[in-house]
């Protein structure tokens, strides 16, 4: 910017409705170039009350700095969603590992890591591959019986993510649809199509889907399942958690919530996003079919291109400064993963899909002490899904625009019509 030239206005990247059209990469670029730490208003939207506003952090280096500095940027003070929780719900929300700082976060992460071992996860390779193969076969059958198209979210990716997680957790087959139901209710609360009938309080106001009342049925199920696993142990996560003497009942409930919702939706959002990118880039798809050894690199690039989580919130624990902006203690600081992943300062030609890109320091699984505990499981599932897509689908093409989630948190794809035959 030359001397005397003013910076362009600060674009809005808060309104969840704009994400139903597309991820606002142009707005992110403006922020990175001219307002890397920018104040965003937080007006009333979709019936949710106005908030005090927040700092939007969009450059890769600043996002990583915030995520790594938990002493300055707290997950505990205001939790990790942009919207402030109801003050009465905050103590409850803080019981979740995601919304804690050291030392309690480190203790709980150590406990759940006992269950979430690479050995246990790798055991599901053959099962996940067979599931992906069967789901794509069903999608092809559906397409051949109709007009040659199929919504692969409904036919493949929703079930793939939920059923794999159910196997890992040890959820009985008869109960597996509950995982998708709970995920839609919690993750899709800003989207009328996903949330279902809104939960209202006695005065007719929306109830936060993460409040104790909204989660009562999920928590009761977690306790029943843990009790069953204590009597019928198996090689699954709920057996390990249910028999851990260091884990309290409320902590077990919160882990079940975290694994059910975050564990499911990471793959549930990333998988159709990856397939959308591949279908929209036929030459890249053909190249990957010719060089399947590049699938591990392709998984990383597709995660960079379509991160499952758009943003995460922290709260300043003390007065600080970031990218020349003064941030006061108590103010909200929101990092935008989807912007950091397209930062020209880190990624050469960030708007080009390069399935052999290396290095690829994307932040789709976060960074620092809260880096995603299930990243290995997610990568395993995505790699197997793409391998089976390459085998089953010679040339998938978009048959219409994808249906995107109304959310400034999850980069969700509700429907993805593809031409398969």
Which pLDDT tens digit goes with each residue over 129-178?
999 999 999 999 999 999 999 999 999 999 999 999 999 999 998 898 88
Residue 44 has pLDDT above 60, yes or no: yes
Q: What is the mean pLDDT of residues 338-364?
A: 98
* pTM of the model as a whole: 0.93
Q: How far is CA 367 from CA 269, 322, 370, in A?
A: 19, 17, 6
The pLDDT mean for the chain works out to 92
CA pair distance 347, 332, nearest whole angstrom: 27
Give 86's pLDDT tier (boundaries 50, 70, 90): confident
The kind and range of the H/E element at 334 are: strand 332-336
Provide DSSP, 131-161.
Answer: HHHHHHHHHHHHHHHTTSEEEHIIIIIHHHH
Sequence-distant (6+) residues with CB within 8 A of 411 are: 19, 23, 269, 273, 306, 307, 308, 309, 310, 338, 405
Phi (first) and psi of residue 125, to 5 degrees: -60, -50
Pick the more confident residue, 132 or 205: 132
Which pLDDT tens digit goes with each residue over 95-109?
889 999 999 999 999
Phi (first) and psi of residue 61, to 5 degrees: -60, -40
Predicted local distance difference test score (pLDDT) of residue 5: 57
3-state secondary structure 1-60: CCCCCCCCCCCCCCCHHHHHCCCCHHHHHHHHHHCCEEEECCCCECCECCCCCEEEECCH
Predicted local distance difference test score (pLDDT) of residue 2: 47
Which pLDDT tens digit goes with each residue over 247-296?
999 899 989 988 888 888 899 999 999 999 999 999 999 999 999 999 99
Q: Which residues pair with 322 in a beta bridge?
A: 325
C-alpha 108: how far from chain center? 20
CA pair distance 415, 402, nearest whole angstrom: 6
Q: How far is CA 89 from CA 132, 149, 155, 268, in A?
A: 39, 45, 37, 27
Residue 209 has pLDDT above 70, yes or no: no
In the chain the domains, ranked by start, together with CATH numbers, are 16-419 (1.10.630.10)
CA dihedral 229, 231, 235, 240 (to 10 degrees): 60
CA pair distance 100, 362, nearest whole angstrom: 24
The sign of the dihedral angle between the CA atoms of 144, 147, 152, 158 is negative
Decide: 388 and 248 in contact? Cβ < 8 Å. no
* Strands 332-336 and 54-57, sheet pairing: parallel
Q: What percent of the chain has pLDDT over 90?
A: 74
- Please compute, for residue 307, the number of CA atoms within 13 A of its CA located in the half-sphere on the CB side: 25
Q: How far is CA 399 from CA 129, 152, 411, in A?
A: 26, 11, 20
Residue 204 has pLDDT above 70, yes or no: no
Q: What is residue 387's three-state secondary structure? A: helix
CA pair distance 249, 232, nearest whole angstrom: 18
Which pLDDT tens digit goes with each residue over 390-419?
999 999 999 999 999 999 999 999 999 999
């Amino acid at each position: 910017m030359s001397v005397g030239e003013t910076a362009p206005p600060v674009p809005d990247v808060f309104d969840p409705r704009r994400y139903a059209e597309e991820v606002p990469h142009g707005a992110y670029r403006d922020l990175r170039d001219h307002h890397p730490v920018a104040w965003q208003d937080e007006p009333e939207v979709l019936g949710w009350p106005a908030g005090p506003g927040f700092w939007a952090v969009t450059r890769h280096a600043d996002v990583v700095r915030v995520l790594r500095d938990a002493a300055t940027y707290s997950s505990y003070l205001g939790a990790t969603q942009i919207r402030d929780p109801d003050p009465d719900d905050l103590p409850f929300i803080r019981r979740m590992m995601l919304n804690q700082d050291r030392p309690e976060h480190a203790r709980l992460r150590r406990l759940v890591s006992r269950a979430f071992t690479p050995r246990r996860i790798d055991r599901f390779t053959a099962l996940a591959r067979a599931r992906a193969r069967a789901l794509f076969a069903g999608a092809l059958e559906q397409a051949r019986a109709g007009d040659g198209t199929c919504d692969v979210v409904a036919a493949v990716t929703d079930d793939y993510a939920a059923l794999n997680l159910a196997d890992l957790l040890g959820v009985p087959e008869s109960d597996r649809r509950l995982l998708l139901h709970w995920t839609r209710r919690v993750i899709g609360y800003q989207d009328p199509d996903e949330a279902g009938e809104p939960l209202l309080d006695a005065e007719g106001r929306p109830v936060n889907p993460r409040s104790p009342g909204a989660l009562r049925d999920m928590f009761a199920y977690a306790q029943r399942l843990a009790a069953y696993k204590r009597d019928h142990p198996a090689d699954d996560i709920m057996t390990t958690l249910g028999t851990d003497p260091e884990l309290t009942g409320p902590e077990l409930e919160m882990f079940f919530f975290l694994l059910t919702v975050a564990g499911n939706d990471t793959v549930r959002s990333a998988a159709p996003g990856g397939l959308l990118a591949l279908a929209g880039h036929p030459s890249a798809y053909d190249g990957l079919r010719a060089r399947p050894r590049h699938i591990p690199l392709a998984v990383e690039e597709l995660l960079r291109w379509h991160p499952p989580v758009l943003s995460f919130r922290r709260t300043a624990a003390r007065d600080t400064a970031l990218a020349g902006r003064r941030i006061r203690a108590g103010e909200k600081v929101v990092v935008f993963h989807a912007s950091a992943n397209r930062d020209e300062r880190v990624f050469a030609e960030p708007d080009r899909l390069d399935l052999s890109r290396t290095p690829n320091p994307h932040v789709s699984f976060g960074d620092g002490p809260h880096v995603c505990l299930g990243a290995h499981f997610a990568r395993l599932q995505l790699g197997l899904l793409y391998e089976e897509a390459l085998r089953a689908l010679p040339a998938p093409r978009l048959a219409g625009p994808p249906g995107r989630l109304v959310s400034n948190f999850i980069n969700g794809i509700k429907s993805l019509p593809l031409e398969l035959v």
